[in-house]
Amino acid sequence: MRLILLGPPGAGKGTQAQHLVARYGLVQFSTGDMLRAAVKAGTVIGRQAQDIMARGALVPDDVVVSIVEQRIGEPDARKGFILDGFPRTVPQAEALDRMLRRHGLALDAVIELKVDEAALIRRIESRIAEMTARGEALRPDDNPDVLHRRLAAYREQTAPLIAYYRRHGMLRSVDGMAPIPKVARQIEAALADAATTLKEPPASPRPASAPKPPIGKKSKAGSKSRSKGRAGTRARPAGKAKAQAKPKSGPKSKARPRKRRR
């Protein structure tokens, strides 16, 4: 099973990905983690990515796709994987599709967690207040201003993926504002629906049938064919025609004059 989870920051993608990993034995692929691992391992792509990041530039799509391509070939990814943080744009999604086709693979589903952005802001503000009251350290992204910027970037760059995967028949949407267990059940139901859809063969088009004439009225085509049958002459069998044919007579003899009676 190969999945993508879509949704804005704070939608709960990480929480649901952990549930799917435990439920189906999948591997969660984080492009950030994979980049750091490739750099640490000193692979060719890792060194290339390190040079790019050292210049402060964004890692190109083809480099990220190459790292994902290497990662899906490892033994632990045979059961499937969840992509986290990739793709972020439509060009990245197209590059991912091409890479998967090269390996004879395809995505099984793309799950969208639909949320209310205003509710997300209230949620993070409530979480900050609770953590502060308990004296816990805040995470860098536990900030309403940061969340606003991340939401704006999501709407601009990543939200178009929803339309892209909907056109390809891959998108399944669930209510991300529901309680965590309910969201998990919705995702499982969406995956079951996606699996059923993939197994169904495409329906063959039925030939269009001619409309039936209304009751009590005869179609023009039928009346013409019947009238033509009555007006035409019936063809006789060849044998019968020969039998009924009159034999040809020879040369006519002159008739003798009758004698008158006296």
> Could you read off the pLDDT of 175-192 as tens digits, one per residue?
999 999 999 999 999 999
Catalytic residue among 2, 13, 71, 172: 13
Strand spans (E) along 31-170 = 81-84, 109-114
Catalytic residue among 36, 88, 114, 123: 88
Q: Which residues of the chain carry a pLDDT beneath 50?
A: 202-205, 208, 217-243, 245, 249, 253, 262
Question: How many other CB atoms sit within 10 Å of the CB of residue 26?
Answer: 19
Q: What are phi and psi of 256, to 5 degrees?
A: -80, 145
Instruction: Tell which residue, 187, 10, 177, has the closest CA to residue 110.
Output: 187
- Domains, in order of start, for the chain: 2-199 (3.40.50.300)
Catalytic residue among 114, 123, 150, 166: 150
Catalytic residue among 36, 114, 127, 166: 127
Catalytic residue among 139, 149, 218, 224: 139
139 catalytically annotated: yes
Instruction: Kindly report whether the global pTM for this prediction surpasses the value 0.75.
Output: no
Strand spans (E) along the chain = 2-6, 27-30, 81-84, 109-114, 171-175
7-60 pLDDT per residue, tens? 888 888 989 999 999 999 999 988 778 888 888 888 888 888 888 777 767 778
**One-letter amino acid of 41:** A
Contacts of 172 (CB under 8 A, 6+ apart): 109, 110, 111, 112, 190, 191, 193, 194
